[in-house]
A and B are shown apart, each in its own frame.
Chain A
Amino acid sequence: MVDRDADFSAYVAARWTSLVRMAVFLGCSIEEAQDLTQTALMRCYVAWKRVQRAENPDSYVYRVLINCHRDVWPRRSSHEVPGKTPVPEVPLSEQAPDGGDLAATTDAIHRALAELSSEARAVVVLRHLLQLSEQETADALAVPVGTVKSRLSRALSRLADSEHLLEMRGDLP
């Protein structure tokens, strides 16, 4: 139990950022992404032996995150009005210092990827942004390597024509 806790804690510390970013790129707000990541990591803790024994633990965890997103977040389309809210089961992490930039960044991400299906987004994140191998990406998505290649190719073609990315590029130094 102690080994599991230490191993799990180290994994969370190392992978938290990439998991939250992945959730945002899948379509969540930053708060939803933190919530989704916590849900996925708790599921992994319960099956931690399986994670440790997996050929690629990262692929396993990313797959749990993607499944959580598909299962738990299919219809979320609204945001809370700030106010007194129940104590969360797991506390949220610190917000970005500048809430306005954060909102603009997440909005830009969602607009840029709006034309992609959730499967295509997952391929872009895993293969292109997280730099997993084709096999690791296929393992995470539970699809053949050929499907990874074709999805990525189509996704990148669509992104190449994305007006939102063209606009963003214009704003960057």
Chain B
Amino acid sequence: MTTNHQPCLEELWEQLPAGSPPVEALLASARLRVRRRRLLASMCTVAVLAVGIGTALTFAGRPDSSVGPSNSGLAALDVQQGHRLVGIAQAAIQVPQAWSFNAASCNVPIRDTSFFPWDQGCQRDTVDGVSSVAITADRPEVRQPYSDGASAGGEPVIETDLTCNGPAPTCTQVFGIPPLNAYFSVSIQGDGAQQTVQDMRKSLTVIPSAYTTVPFVPGGSLAAVRDALQKSGLQVNVEHSSCPSTGNCQPGVVSTDPPAGTVLPTASAVSVQVLDG
């Protein structure tokens, strides 16, 4: 670089303010992430044990049993490798494990994610090349008509046609289980998009009563979040942390661990992270 340009780039560097480091809040979130990893690891152990015990109980005293995989509860948890279940109420689908939870801004997914749209009062442009599943309790209003689809777990399913547009392409479909108030709006971009949508549709399942999903409570108070979690059959642990004095944060419920949409054994513990003002 010539001498003429060096001061300019360095001055731009020095002029740029970075804001105060949110040390305490960052530490709180980082600790939460570590606990989440440990909780998921222990949940996997619990789930494996529960399935194992459930299998043993199912076949106990049935020497001539040929039930096998017709036990829809166990079959529903047969998650494909590299995928995880995500859902609402007692319905779930499988998404790639690498997808984020609720990585959306102003109801626009910003990376591959499952998310729960809610009225946030803001707008933004869409982000290209992102795949997502929007999960709602209400039936989405779409241009295409709904038709009856193959049932899931004995429950009726409605769905739109799978459509693909553009060179990328982008393939979309909406489907749901009306009696369970569970709807999934799938949008997949890139190679294999059509197959991916079909796979997600096929993975639609009714979660057995031994399991539940972490509910989404948009902008809710701690009391509302606690109530929703308990109604879902989950135990609640509340963790408080403080907004740093130099930070710009909004007190209230920040997140749950595991995040909303996660499928868990009933009576599992969920941590609610609360920022105090």
Within 8 A of B (CB), among A91-107: 91-96, 101-102, 105-106
Q: B255 to chain A: which residues have CB within 8 Å?
A: 89
Instruction: State the Cβ distance, A43 to closest chain B Cβ, in Å.
Output: 8
Within 8 A of A (CB), among B223-253: 243-244, 246-250, 252-253
Count residues on chain A whose CB falls below 8 Å from chain B CBs: 63
- Neighbour of A86 across the interface among B11, B31, B120, CB < 8 A: B120
A48 to B253, CA, bound (A): 27
Q: B246 to chain A: which residues have CB within 8 Å?
A: 93-94
Within 8 A of B (CB), among A78-128: 78-96, 101-102, 105-106, 108-109, 112, 124, 128
Known: A12-B26, A93-B248, A106-B16. A84 touches B121 (CB 8 A): yes
Proximity string of chain A (27-46) to chain B, C-beta cutoff 8 Å, 1 when within and 0 when not: 00010011000100110011
A88 to B25, CA, bound (A): 10
Instruction: State the Cβ distance, B13 to closest chain A Cβ, in Å.
Output: 5
Count residues on chain B whose CB falls below 8 Å from chain A CBs: 60
A91 with B275: CB separation less than 8 A = yes
A82 to B105, CA, bound (A): 11
A93 with B27: CB separation less than 8 A = no
B30 with A8: CB separation less than 8 A = yes
Closest to B11 in A: A172
A112 to B12, CA, bound (A): 10
B9 with A91: CB separation less than 8 A = no
Instruction: State the Cβ distance, A136 to closest chain B Cβ, in Å.
Output: 18
Within 8 A of A (CB), among B11-45: 11-13, 15-31, 33-34, 37
B4 with A169: CB separation less than 8 A = yes
A38 with B26: CB separation less than 8 A = yes
B111 contacts partner chain A, Cβ-Cβ < 8 Å: yes
Q: A138 to chain B: which residues have CB within 8 Å?
A: none
B127 contacts partner chain A, Cβ-Cβ < 8 Å: yes
Known: A42-B26, A93-B22. A78 touches B123 (CB 8 A): no
Instruction: State the Cβ distance, A3 to closest chain B Cβ, in Å.
Output: 13
A41 with B26: CB separation less than 8 A = yes
Q: A78 to chain B: which residues have CB within 8 Å?
A: 124-127
Interface of A is mostly: helix
Known: A94-B246, A165-B5. A16 touches B18 (CB 8 A): yes
A21 to B7, CA, bound (A): 16
B1 contacts partner chain A, Cβ-Cβ < 8 Å: yes
A133 contacts partner chain B, Cβ-Cβ < 8 Å: no
A118 to B41, CA, bound (A): 36
A72 contacts partner chain B, Cβ-Cβ < 8 Å: yes
- Neighbour of A13 across the interface among B23, B33, B122, B219, CB < 8 A: B23
Within 8 A of B (CB), among A130-173: 156, 159-160, 162, 165, 168-169, 172
A13 to B130, CA, bound (A): 34
B165 contacts partner chain A, Cβ-Cβ < 8 Å: no
B162 contacts partner chain A, Cβ-Cβ < 8 Å: no
Q: B191 to chain A: which residues have CB within 8 Å?
A: none
A91 with B120: CB separation less than 8 A = no
Cross-chain pairs A/B with CB under 8 angstroms, 23 sampled: A9-B27, A12-B27, A18-B18, A21-B18, A24-B16, A30-B19, A41-B26, A41-B30, A42-B33, A45-B27, A46-B34, A77-B125, A77-B127, A79-B124, A80-B122, A92-B19, A93-B19, A96-B19, A102-B17, A109-B16, A128-B1, A160-B1, A172-B8
Task: Please give the residue numbers on chain B whose beta carbons come within 8 Å of chain A beta carbons, in ascending order.
Answer: 1-2, 4-5, 7-13, 15-31, 33-34, 37, 105-106, 110-111, 120-130, 218-219, 243-244, 246-250, 252-255, 275
Task: Please give the residue numbers on chain A whose beta carbons come within 8 Å of chain B beta carbons, in ascending order.
Answer: 5, 8-9, 12-13, 16-21, 24-25, 30, 33-34, 38, 41-42, 45-46, 72, 74-96, 101-102, 105-106, 108-109, 112, 124, 128-129, 156, 159-160, 162, 165, 168-169, 172
The 5 lowest CB-CB distance pairs between A and B, nearest first, are A93-B19, A91-B249, A83-B122, A16-B21, A78-B125
